[in-house]
């Protein structure tokens, strides 16, 4: 008999401060102490899950805000679901629920909203990805021989996920340090130069997790040597589990996108599985997902600098306020009922968001 492990978002409770939960598995985090999130990192915007919402202002454009509406529609449903999973990230998930829920239009035409900056929030991921692409595009363009490297270890259980991620980071660090030493001794032309992203996915068939690194390195020789070094650090990892291939600009930009695939496909059905996602988010809470090695971090375009201070100063100049209404899939003007964007969820996308975000619907073969 299949256990009742499937939720739909519609059945989940609204914000109450405590999670009303019905799930039959995946509560292993309850006895863990909530870890402090203290690191200030390259992907710092994504490391402060406990932080309050941050104000940002941006000029309104239908194209940009229409896309924001689409990802908000999905993220909103996911946030409600995640907030109902027993998790040390409970508060952070509710922050995502409120992320850009209210948009205030200022007299200068800019729109002010508060953002959660959490790594699972697709609204914030869009902003973060755009910023990273802009930041690193010139460097990546200058690497004409660049290669993508994927470094993996054998899949692990949920219980081992966090430790596995730590081991991978430590193993990589050992490689980096030994390359630096070799470079100093004149045995190597350069220290390790790479952009690295940590990703983790869940395999619903085996119920195992697959943490891995994606890297962009300047040339094929670096890519191949990195693969060899990795295998010497992790003898249980398979040679053909590691991938090396030439990278074009598009492939490099993948590095700046979401750190986990939200959607898993099983028996041709697409799901967002909240239990496994929560396990992944907990395992990397407070850590970096994007990091660079041997590279001076390029300066961020001045126009992309946080406009929080400016937004605060201008709060008196608010001319209109829109609130997110999930049923509509849009921000609605409180006074006029007007919609902020022309975005309208397609029936297919609405059906996906409303029925396919589940706790963990691992299908078992029935006789």
**What does the binding site for Zn ion look like in residue numbers (CB under 5 A)?**
99, 115-116, 121, 123-124
Shortest distance (Å) from residue 123 CB to Zn ion: 5
CB 110 within 8 A of CB 313: no
Beta carbon of residue 119, minimum distance to Zn ion (angstroms, whole number): 9
Q: How far apart are CA 263 and CA 270, in angstroms?
A: 6
In the bound state with Zn ion, the residue whose beta carbon lies nearer, of 85 and 195, is 85
CB 321 within 8 A of CB 333: yes
Dihedral of the alpha carbons of 85, 284, 258, 226, in degrees to the nearest 10? -150
- Least separation in angstroms between CB 189 and Zn ion: 42
CB 78 → Zn ion: shortest distance, Å? 11
Question: Cβ contacts of residue 221 below 8 Å, gap of 6+?
Answer: none
Residues 6+ apart with CB under 8 A from 98: 53, 114, 116
- For residues 110 and 126, which CB has a smaller minimum distance to Zn ion in the complex? 126
Work out how close the CB of 75 gets to Zn ion at its nearest, in angstroms, rounded to a whole number.
Answer: 7
Complex with Zn ion: residue 45 or 226, whichever CB lies closer: 45
Q: Which is nearer to Zn ion, 115 or 234 (CB)?
A: 115
Least Å from the CB of residue 70 to Zn ion: 14
Alpha-carbon distance 241 to 248, whole Å?
21
The smaller minimum CB distance to Zn ion, of residues 37 and 193, is found at 37
Asked if 330 and 100 touch (Cβ cutoff 8 Å), the reply is no
Cα of first residue to Cα of last residue in the chain, in angstroms, is 10
| Nearer to Zn ion among residue 23 and residue 99 (C-beta) | 99
Crossing angle for the helix pair 274-283 and 158-184, nearest 10 degrees? 40
Q: For Zn ion, which is the closer residue by CB, 169 or 257? A: 257
Nearer to Zn ion, 124 or 139 (CB): 124
Phi, psi dihedral angles at 142 (to 5 degrees): -75, -15
- CA dist 138 and 252 (Å) reads 12
> What contacts 170, CB < 8 A, 6 or more positions away?
none
Please calculate the CA angle 193-196-202 and round it to the nearest 5 degrees. Answer: 155
State in angstroms the smallest separation of the CB of 96 from Zn ion.
5
Q: Residue 23 or 124: which CB sits closer to Zn ion?
A: 124
**Distance from C-alpha of 305 to C-alpha of 302, rounded to nearest angstrom:** 5
Q: Which residues, listed in sequence order, are joined to residue 214 by a DSSP beta bridge?
A: 150, 197
Q: How far is the CB of 232 from Zn ion (least distance, A)?
A: 40
**Nearest distance in Å: CB 262, Zn ion:** 14
Q: How far is CA 96 from CA 50, 52, 79, in A?
A: 11, 10, 6
């Amino acid at each position: 008999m299949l256990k009742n492990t499937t939720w739909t978002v519609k059945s989940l409770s609204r914000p109450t401060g405590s999670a009303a939960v019905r799930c039959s598995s995946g509560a292993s985090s309850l006895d863990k102490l909530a870890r402090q999130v203290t690191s200030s990192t390259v992907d710092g915007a994504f490391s402060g899950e406990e932080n309050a919402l941050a104000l940002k202002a941006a000029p309104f454009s239908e194209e940009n805000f229409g896309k924001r509406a689409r990802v908000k529609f999905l993220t909103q449903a996911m946030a409600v679901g995640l907030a109902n999973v027993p998790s040390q990230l409970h508060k952070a998930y509710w922050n995502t629920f409120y992320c850009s829920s209210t948009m205030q239009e200022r007299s200068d035409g800019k729109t002010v909203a508060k953002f959660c900056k959490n790594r699972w929030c697709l609204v914030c991921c869009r902003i973060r990805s755009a910023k990273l692409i802009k930041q690193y595009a010139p460097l990546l363009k200058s690497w004409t021989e660049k290669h993508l490297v994927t470094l993996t270890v054998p899949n692990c259980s949920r219980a081992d996920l966090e430790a596995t991620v730590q081991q991978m980071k430590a193993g990589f660090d050992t490689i980096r340090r030994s390359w630096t030493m070799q470079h100093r001794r004149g045995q190597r032309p350069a220290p390790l130069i790479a952009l690295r992203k940590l990703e983790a996915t869940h395999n619903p068939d085996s119920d195992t997790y697959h943490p891995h690194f994606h890297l962009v390195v300047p040339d094929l020789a670096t890519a191949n040597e990195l693969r060899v070094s990795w295998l010497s650090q992790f003898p249980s990892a398979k040679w053909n589990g590691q991938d090396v291939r030439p990278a074009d600009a598009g492939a490099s930009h993948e590095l700046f996108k979401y750190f986990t695939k939200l959607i898993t496909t099983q028996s041709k059905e697409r799901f967002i599985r909240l239990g496994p996602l929560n396990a992944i988010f907990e395992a990397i809470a407070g850590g970096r997902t994007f990091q660079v090695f041997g590279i001076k971090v390029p300066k961020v375009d001045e126009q992309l600098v946080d406009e929080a201070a400016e937004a605060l100063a201008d709060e008196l100049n608010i001319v209109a306020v829109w609130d997110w209404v999930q049923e509509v899939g849009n921000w609605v003007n409180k006074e006029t009922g007007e919609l902020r964007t022309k975005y309208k969820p397609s029936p297919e996308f609405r059906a996906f968001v409303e029925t396919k975000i589940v706790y963990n619907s691992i299908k078992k073969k029935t006789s």
